[in-house]
Amino acid sequence: MMFENIRIVLVGAMYGGNVGSICRAMANMGLSRLVLVAPARTLNHAEARMMAVAADSILESRREVATLEEAVGDCSLVMGTTARVGLYRQHAKAPREWAPQILESARSNQVALVFGRENSGLTNEEIAICTNMIQIPSSPDYPSLNLAQAVMVCCYELFVASGVHEPLEEKTVECLTRTREHMFTMWREVLLQIGFMDEEKADHMMLGMRRIFSRAPLTEDDVRILMGIARQMMWKARQAERP
Amino acid sequence: MMFENIRIVLVGAMYGGNVGSICRAMANMGLSRLVLVAPARTLNHAEARMMAVAADSILESRREVATLEEAVGDCSLVMGTTARVGLYRQHAKAPREWAPQILESARSNQVALVFGRENSGLTNEEIAICTNMIQIPSSPDYPSLNLAQAVMVCCYELFVASGVHEPLEEKTVECLTRTREHMFTMWREVLLQIGFMDEEKADHMMLGMRRIFSRAPLTEDDVRILMGIARQMMWKARQAERP
């Protein structure tokens, strides 16, 4: 619902490939409303469809208007994007900083994210219509992002900030100390049995083993595998000792 | 220095446009080491150069190798990327979660970020070589990102986490209460003078004015502009009252 109230506005887009990539990026991040302001007449629609891949419905349902005013007339927040810093641009903040305010506003208002031309960005007149400016963090050696990449970073930050995405969780639980200790006991036994160490050095070697397996938490599955190996080694070692 | 130790590895890349876009994204985010593992023989190099724009030096200085083993042999952390969840993939975490560990490791070790083919990703054999898996948060309705977009999100997260980027700061300072109060006094005076309100309603109206200008902090510059307007209005109003 919140995401339905957020639109991506492209001013004077020149390349169909970018427009298509933007449709896909929007779909990847849960957005669907695209508005083109005065796109280039030479814009390659076949290329746009190709790059949109499974997001062609966003491309088909786009709105096209002649001016930025028309595109954002019914919006409250109008977030412009810029690579440069200058007049009007000094209050720019990073997308991660803006994301919570954009999402909060989009709960009950229309919000626009406005992106300028591939070669020259937004004009000062267009920036004046924006209520706020977004600047994507980038290297001072090459600060200018491809248009579709800039849209992706902004949409991605909104998607992550929305918390829609469930954090990936370990499917298996971390193992308990008694299980882990049982595993170390088995390994101590088998390492003695195969002659990897003698009783005198065993405690010291087992400290090394413990350090290796303490670098990251072991899951119950991990420990089951390690115990299986020890068990199998013991069996094989006993076979070897048979006359 | 840290960024010099991080390489982007593309396995079986098919499209020159993607490879070029990736060079640009890397440059945007301060990275420079690109390794191609068995790229498609049909890969369009002219398209790659076109999309790399000013990042063509990354394209030119790329390494090409036959296998993933060769590409990451000298690395400690090998971060694979996946859109799917499944066998080997259950321990995937989001790029924002991994970023600090990747940067920490890259201070004194070689680190690889590995991306699979445009159409089929990484094979299970290739995933087995990776020490950890990255999964980019995305909509369950369309989770599959364009290759260049996926690389951008990962590079962007590393760049932001590195803290290299200075947060954008207001160039002008927030105004002090005594300046703000002076401004409100001027406005009270002029609003009375032009007959916008009478003395009886003045306090109430001024509360409204204060509310409007308290929504966000005013800078010294803002207040100077507002005082300038009040001053000019007073001057014009006095002219109007002349006989």
User: Residue A198: which CATH number?
Assistant: 1.10.8
Where is A111: in which H helix or E strand?
strand A111-115
- Which has more confidence, B79 or A238? B79
Of A17, A55, A146, the CB nearest to B24: A146
Where is B151: in which H helix or E strand?
helix B147-162
Confidence grade of residue A86 (pLDDT, cut at 50, 70, 90):
low
Whole-structure pTM value: 0.81
Query: Of A109, A129, A162, which residue is a domain's last?
Result: A162
Q: Check pLDDT > 90 for residue B68.
A: yes
My answer on whether B143 and B204 are in the same domain is: no
Q: Is A51 on the interface with B (CB under 8 A)?
A: yes
Tens of pLDDT, residue by residue over B184-202, are 999 999 899 888 889 999 9
Q: Check pLDDT > 80 for residue A36.
A: yes
My answer on whether A97 and A214 are in the same domain is: no
Domain count across chain A = 2
A28/B143 CB distance under 8 A:
yes
Task: Tell which of B168, B220, B225 to mutate to test the A interface (max A CBs under 10 Å).
Answer: B168
What is the reported pLDDT for A80?
95
Confidence grade of residue B85 (pLDDT, cut at 50, 70, 90):
low
On average, the pLDDT of chain B sits at 90
What is the reported pLDDT for A221?
84
CA–CA distance, B10 with B130 (Å, rounded to integer): 13
My answer on whether A196 and A146 are in the same domain is: no
My answer on whether B49 and B81 are in the same domain is: yes
Q: Is B215 on the interface with A (CB under 8 A)?
A: no
My answer on whether A125 and A228 are in the same domain is: no
Computed from CA positions of residues B101, B104, B110, B116, in that sequence, does the dihedral angle turn out positive or negative? positive
- Residues in chain A closer than 8 A to B162 (CB atoms): none
What is the reported pLDDT for B168?
58
Note down the domain range covering B223.
177-241
Where is B177: in which H helix or E strand?
helix B177-193
What is the reported pLDDT for A171?
58
Tens of pLDDT, residue by residue over A164-198, are 876 655 556 788 888 889 999 999 998 998 888 89
B91 domain residue, yes or no: yes
Q: Is B37 on the interface with A (CB under 8 A)?
A: no
My answer on whether B198 and B151 are in the same domain is: no
Q: Check pLDDT > 80 for residue A24.
A: yes
What is the reported pLDDT for A34?
98
A171 domain residue, yes or no: no
> Buried b / exposed e across B75-84, counting CB within 10 Å, b at 16+?
bebbbbbbbe
My answer on whether B41 and B117 are in the same domain is: yes
- Residues in chain B closer than 8 A to A148 (CB atoms): 149
Q: Check pLDDT > 70 for residue B54.
A: yes
My answer on whether A126 and A209 are in the same domain is: no
- Mean pLDDT within A83-111: 84
In DSSP terms, B115 is beta-bridged to: B10
Percentage of chain B modeled with pLDDT above 90: 62
B171 domain residue, yes or no: no
Computed from CA positions of residues A36, A40, A45, A47, in that sequence, does the dihedral angle turn out positive or negative? negative
Task: Tell which of A21, A84, A146 to mutate to test the B interface (max B CBs under 10 Å).
Answer: A146
Q: Check pLDDT > 60 for residue B118.
A: yes
Query: Of B102, B135, B162, which residue is a domain's last?
Result: B162
Least confident of A6-15, A134-143, A222-231, B143-152: A222-231
B168 domain residue, yes or no: no
A118 domain residue, yes or no: yes
Q: Is B155 on the interface with A (CB under 8 A)?
A: no
B169 domain residue, yes or no: no
SS3 B33: strand
Query: What CATH number did the domain enclosing A17 receive?
Result: 3.40.1280.10
- Mean pLDDT within B122-145: 91
Tens of pLDDT, residue by residue over A146-158, are 999 999 999 999 9
Q: Check pLDDT > 90 for residue B90.
A: no
A104 domain residue, yes or no: yes
B71 domain residue, yes or no: yes
> ipTM of this complex > 0.90?
no
Distance in Å, alpha carbon of A182 to nearest chain B alpha carbon = 25
Q: At what angle do helices B16-28 and B45-52 cross, to 10 degrees?
A: 30
Interface of B with A in 104-133 (CB under 8 A): none
Place of tokens 């590409």: B71
What is the reported pLDDT for A217?
77
